[in-house]
Structure 1
Amino acid sequence: MQHRNSSLGRPSGTDGSDYSYRMVVDSRYQLVAKGKKRLSLLFIIEALVLLIGVVFAFLPGREQHIPNTAVFSSVIVSVVLVIIADIGRRRSRSGLLRFYAIASSIATLQLIVSLAMWHSLPKAIWDFGFSETRRFDATGFTGLQAGLLLYLLTFSLFKIWTIKAVLSLIFNMSPPKKSS
């Protein structure tokens, strides 16, 4: 058979009856390709969201003259983990993706707790929710704390979504179990 040329139509030497013998890509490999593409976008968005976390780390908290080293270290670890996960995504290394899923969850938890404590978020939520007044009074709940709360909730949900995508990719990358 000759090589296929799109302008000539069907290659010479075949009548089309060999269609059933052609290779078909398994749906699992198609899911892996889609998962890798989705993860590349999620990793870029995660890096941008981590930059917003750095902005919150620079804003003054309880002690204005001391930098928030816990947030900075958490962000640095998270960025390194995103780089490791991207390498794992590109090279189809499920071990690196598993490491990212576990370590990134711990770093995210540290980032969330550290930022919340730095800006006295639990105290503000407690005071806001359990005050004696019945009308809407947000005097103890500043705009910074409201923005931080929104950021932390959004980042938590985004991280859960990313971890779910990573686990889905790992599941699709692993070979199917053979029944005995």
Structure 2
Amino acid sequence: MPPRPEGTDGSDWSYREVVADRYKRMAVNMSATFFMHQVQSAVLVLKLLWYLFPVVAEERRPDPFFFALLAFLVVGNICFYAGRPRGRCVLPLMKVAALLVMATLGLHFVSLWKYHLLEPKTSQYGRRLYKLLRDRGTLESPTWLTVFTAAEGVLDAALVAAAGTCFFIFNNWVRDAMQAAKERQQRGKQQTAAGAAAGGGAVAGGGRAVRRRA
């Protein structure tokens, strides 16, 4: 029986190309970023709906933070999905999307600081909702005030956790993508320089051959 050809007996594993750890990490981070970006957007939508309570129940204008967070949500999702096609990602758009996630987190912290430290407690949405329903006779137990306040706190904490986690993972992906882009540019420059050097050598060799024939 003839021997098996070399490379088909399982000994070719040492010659196989290995994907760099950074590219594996980029794939994992992009999948996690896609999931967390959806979670962060969903929680932000719930927060925006909570901001609409004065408009629906009291016929007032929404909080100014509502418009800023809405703009961050819309522009951030446009940049994220436009910058994440099926092929190679558009890095500038992904950078903008990551910055808007960070801006959402920062603006939310500012709104919490203003909401809990500068404004009176009677202006908090949970208390206003409880007062409105109590005046209408829908609710009577003061336990509902605790429920509304706790629900608002959980929503705020969920937005902080989702946006913070999304930005952390997203930023790691952007950093690796920028490093990979720099390496591709360097390889392109090296290949261009090598091609130019090879072309120059061929021209010089042709010139010497012409002089010899002369």
TM surpasses 0.5: yes
CA contact (8 A) 2:39 2:162 kept: no
Summarize the Cα distance change of 1:11–1:150 in structure 2 as closer, same or farther, 3 Å threshold. farther
Residues 1:150 and 2:145 aligned together: no
- Give 1:103 deviation, angstroms: 2.7
The structure whose Rg is larger is 2
Residue-pair matches, total = 153
From 158, 166, 170, the equivalent of 2:174 is 170
CA RMSD, 1 decimal: 3.5
Output one character per residue of 1:20-54: Cα deviation in whole Å (capped at 9) or x when no partner: 22211111111111111111111221221122112
Residues 1:74 and 2:78 aligned together: no
Gaps of 5+ in 1: 1-9, 126-137
Residues 1:103 and 2:97 aligned together: no
Q: Given residue 80 of structure 1, which amino acid in structure 2 is its aligned partner? A: V
- Give 1:17 deviation, angstroms: 3.1
Summarize the Cα distance change of 1:17–1:82 in structure 2 as closer, same or farther, 3 Å threshold. same
Question: Equivalent residue of 2:175, what SS?
Answer: helix
Where does 1:3-152 land on structure 2 (aligned, <5 Å)? 14-60=8-54, 64-68=58-62, 70=64, 71-90=66-85, 91-111=88-108, 113-114=110-111, 121-122=116-117, 123-124=120-121, 143-152=147-156
Question: Percent of aligned positions with the same letter in both sequences?
Answer: 22
Q: Given residue 25 of structure 2, which amino acid in structure 1 is its aligned partner? A: L
Structure 2-normalised TM-score? 0.57
Q: Given residue 172 of structure 1, which amino acid in structure 2 is its aligned partner? A: D
CA contact (8 A) 2:98 2:167 kept: yes
Q: Which moved more, 1:79-88 or 1:166-175?
A: 79-88
Higher helix share: 2
List structure 1 runs of 4+ shifted beyond 4 angstroms: 10-13, 111-117
Q: Which moved more, 1:89-98 or 1:19-28?
A: 89-98
Q: Given residue 103 of structure 1, which amino acid in structure 2 is its aligned partner? A: L
CA contact (8 A) 1:78 1:108 kept: no
Question: Equivalent residue of 1:68, what SS?
Answer: coil
